[in-house]
């Protein structure tokens, strides 16, 4: 029979060591009196048991404890990665059973490490899922002689066998043991430090995400005050490419709401054990246990795409994943059913890969798309967040043109790199430092670069001559656009003169291609399309060319009408193209000067553009011995900006 540890002796020198007492107490509790009363009696039929433990680290201590307790029972532990010795141990167990001796196999992953032969003869599988508080209290009394009645099951969440042995065996009173266990748990399950996280108010969020986050924060506040039940909180899944700030957003919601924040990931669950499904589901359960042990907590689960859609798997993969996914779903349901003030948020890179059961109503149901900035305004917002007040809005807008489509993580990295460049040269950071990283030097040859610079410079100079403010001009590749000129937009109700000025500005790029560059090319396609659209709208919809009827309101137009419109548009474009050619010729020196600056600097802002044009104008007039007077048009302006998309700074009512 097994040896019972002495629990009555009060002489401290005779008290058991925790390294022995705790594994023995765990084994005694798991097997129970019924099994312990018969398994070690050779006069009774032999028994074959499997003990499933939380992790491989439990195997050796329990094997030693059972060997100490049971004199005539063959005990072996099985771990992943020890397949050859496992086969020998299994034959030893089967041989012992054949000799009439009881046997015990211990493993964290018995499905993988213990062969089918032993599984076939096993009488019972006993599972140990965690440290039991009653067992730990008992061992603390055995080791210290004191009471540990204040210890609860929640105090042991996330604590392993070896950590518990260390906490109890370090000595001192029962109170000391409990305090050490509390410190271990606090360090392992402490919510994330949010001191470095910005509040929701400060985060640069696009409108839909801002709306969702603000409403969620308001709901959390109502749950806090009892105005809203916990069941009304909608668990959500944030989707988007890596680096878009999903984790930061979740943490910011927690910080702004005053709730604690606990982060985990599917990869963390795999790393918690040996990667087997049992370890994964246990790690998930421990995370949920941690959340349920407190109130007012946000649990964030990253990398949800690592849990596959079972419907897309083959039979073998589905058999492996089915219990994992089911186990995770059960844990999510535990949170929902607990009634506690707990919110679950998930994140993934590929929403379409998720199992439908994971994102159905009642689980991680609300889909929130957290994407990179898609407009200059959104990019400027993210840049301002990381740059603070170091640059003017105009300077940041220059970089904003380059940052469209870049993830916030990339934008932050770029700012840090630019800071590094400035430190290396012992000076303050400049906009050009940022530009050099967002848009490194391209491989275009010098002739192609100059050709593009002349095209964009012509847009900018002719706009300036016609009284249209130029915000920025760049020859940096932006998406499908080889270069971009951004101007102040015209009034919301343009006159015919305004329309023709806009078209002339757009056609100036093509005129420069013809007169100053390598000749016209397909790069003017966007300019021509925009010019055509403006003219058609001006005549057919806005009544600016003598025609009062609106074509879009007429059920159908005959072929003759369409041919007439086509001929009219072609005549107007030819007229305005000639105007653009004349203006480009008149302003050749300013265009070439601005193009030269673009080749060197790649991006120019309003003040630099104005200075270059005026300097070149003064020089040109000086060469001709003329006064430097420039007559500007009267195109009304407002401070918003319009991306010309390669040339035309259009503004449609």
Give per-residue pLDDT as tens, 536-578: 888 888 888 887 776 655 555 566 677 888 899 999 999 999 9
More confident residue, 386 or 324: 386
Does residue 126 have a pLDDT over 60? yes
Question: Residues of the chain with pLDDT > 70: what percent?
Answer: 86
Helices (DSSP H) in 293-439: which residue ranges? 315-338, 376-387, 393-403, 408-424, 431-438
pLDDT at position 646 is 38
Would you say domain 38-129 falls under CATH 3.30.70? no
For range 282-291, the mean pLDDT: 87
pLDDT at position 213 is 95
Does residue 95 have a pLDDT over 80? yes
pLDDT at position 553 is 55
Would you say domain 446-643 falls under CATH 1.20.58.760? yes
Burial group, residue 316, by CB count within 10 angstroms (0-12, 13-18, 19+):
exposed
Q: How confident is the model at residue 647 (pLDDT cuts 50, 70, 90)?
A: very low
In angstroms, the CA 511 to CA 513 distance is 5
Q: How confident is the model at residue 85 (pLDDT cuts 50, 70, 90)?
A: low
- Tell me the per-residue pLDDT of 502-532, one tens digit each, with 9 for 90 and over: 999 999 999 999 999 888 888 788 888 888 8
Does residue 596 have a pLDDT over 50? yes
Q: For residue 15, report the phi and psi dihedrals to the nearest 5 degrees.
A: -75, 145
Does residue 334 have a pLDDT over 50? yes
Q: Bridge-partner residues for 470, per DSSP?
A: 487
Average pLDDT, the chain: 83
CATH class for the domain made up of 207-369 = alpha beta
Residue 307 structure tokens: 């849990």
Q: How confident is the model at residue 489 (pLDDT cuts 50, 70, 90)?
A: low
Fold match between domain 207-369 and domain 446-643: no
Which of 325-329, 550-554, 621-625 has the lowest average pLDDT? 550-554
pLDDT at position 56 is 79
Residue 90 structure tokens: 């299994």
The 3-state DSSP class for residue 609 equals helix
The 3-state DSSP class for residue 75 equals strand
Instruction: Give 3-state DSSP helix, strand, coil % of the chain, rounded to 5.
Output: 55, 10, 35
Question: Residues of the chain with pLDDT > 90: what percent?
Answer: 40
In angstroms, the CA 615 to CA 592 distance is 12
For range 238-253, the mean pLDDT: 92
The answer to whether 282 and 270 are in contact (CB under 8 A) is no
At which residue do the structure tokens 């107490």 appear?
Answer: 25
Which of 235-249, 277-291, 482-496, 634-648 has the lowest average pLDDT? 634-648
Q: How confident is the model at residue 55 (pLDDT cuts 50, 70, 90)?
A: confident
Where in the chain are the domains? 38-129, 207-369, 376-438, 446-643
Q: Does the pTM of the predicted model rise above 0.75?
A: no
């Amino acid at each position: 029979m097994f040896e019972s540890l002495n629990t009555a002796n009060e002489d401290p020198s005779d008290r058991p060591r925790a390294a022995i007492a705790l594994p023995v107490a765990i084994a005694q509790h798991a097997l129970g009196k019924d099994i312990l009363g018969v398994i070690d009696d050779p006069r009774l039929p032999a028994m074959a048991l499997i003990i499933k433990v939380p992790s491989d680290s439990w195997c050796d201590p329990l094997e030693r404890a059972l060997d100490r307790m049971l004199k005539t029972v063959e005990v072996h532990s099985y771990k992943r990665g020890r397949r050859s010795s496992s086969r020998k141990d299994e034959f030893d167990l089967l041989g012992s059973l054949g000799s009439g001796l009881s046997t015990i196999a211990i493993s964290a992953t018995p499905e993988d490490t213990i062969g089918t032969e032993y599984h076939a003869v096993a009488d019972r599988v006993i599972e140990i899922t965690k440290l039991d508080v009653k067992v730990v209290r008992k061992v603390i009394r055995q080791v210290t002689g004191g009471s540990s009645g204040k210890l609860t099951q929640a105090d042991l969440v996330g604590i392993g066998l070896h950590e518990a042995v260390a906490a109890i065996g370090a000595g001192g009173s029962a109170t000391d043991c409990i305090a050490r266990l509390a410190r271990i748990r606090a360090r392992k399950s402490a919510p994330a430090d949010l001191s470095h996280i910005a509040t929701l108010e400060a985060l640069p969020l696009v409108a839909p995400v801002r709306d969702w986050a603000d409403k969620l924060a308001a709901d959390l506040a109502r749950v806090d005050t009892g105005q809203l039940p916990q069941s009304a909180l909608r668990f959500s899944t944030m989707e988007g490419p890596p680096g878009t700030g999903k984790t930061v957003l979740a943490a910011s919601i927690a910080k702004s709401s005053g709730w604690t924040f606990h982060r985990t990931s599917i990869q963390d669950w795999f790393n918690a054990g040996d990667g087997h499904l049992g370890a994964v589901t246990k790690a998930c359960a421990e995370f949920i246990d941690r959340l349920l042990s407190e109130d007012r907590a946000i649990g964030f689960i990253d990398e949800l795409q690592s849990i596959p859609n079972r419907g897309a798997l083959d039979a073998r993969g589905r058999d492996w994943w089915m219990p994992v996914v089911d186990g995770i779903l059960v844990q999510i349901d535990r949170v929902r059913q607990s009634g506690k003030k707990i919110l679950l948020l998930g994140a993934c890179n590929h929403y379409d890969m998720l199992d439908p059961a994971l994102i159905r109503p009642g689980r991680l149901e609300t889909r929130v798309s957290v994407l990179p900035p898609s407009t200059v305004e959104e990019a400027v917002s993210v840049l301002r967040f990381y740059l603070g007040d170091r640059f003017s809005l105009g300077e940041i807008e220059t970089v904003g043109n380059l940052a469209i489509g870049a993830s916030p993580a990339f934008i932050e990295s770029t700012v840090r790199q630019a800071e590094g460049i400035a430190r290396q040269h012992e000076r303050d950071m400049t906009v050009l430092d940022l530009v050099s990283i967002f848009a490194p030097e391209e491989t275009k040859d010098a002739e192609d670069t100059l050709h593009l610079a002349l095209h964009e410079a012509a847009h900018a100079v002719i706009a300036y001559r016609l009284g249209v403010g130029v915000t920025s001009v760049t020859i940096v590749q932006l998406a499908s656009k080889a270069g971009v000129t951004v101007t102040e937009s015209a009034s919301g109700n343009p006159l015919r003169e305004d329309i023709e000025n806009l078209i002339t500005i757009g056609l100036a790029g093509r005129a420069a291609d013809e007169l100053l560059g390598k000749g016209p090319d397909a790069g003017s396609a966007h300019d021509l399309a925009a010019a055509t659209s403006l003219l058609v709208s001006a005549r057919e919809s806005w009544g600016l060319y003598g025609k009062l009827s609106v074509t879009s309101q007429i059920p159908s137009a005959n072929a003759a009408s369409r041919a007439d419109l086509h001929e009219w548009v072609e005549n107007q474009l030819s007229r305005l193209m000639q105007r653009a050619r004349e203006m480009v010729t008149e302003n050749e020196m300013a265009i070439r000067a601005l193009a030269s600056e673009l080749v060197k600097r790649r991006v120019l802002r309003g003040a630099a553009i104005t200075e270059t044009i005026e300097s070149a104008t003064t020089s040109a007039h000086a060469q001709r011995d003329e006064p430097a007077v420039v007559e500007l048009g009267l195109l009304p302006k407002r401070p918003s900006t319009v991306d010309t998309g390669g040339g035309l700074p259009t503004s449609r009512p």
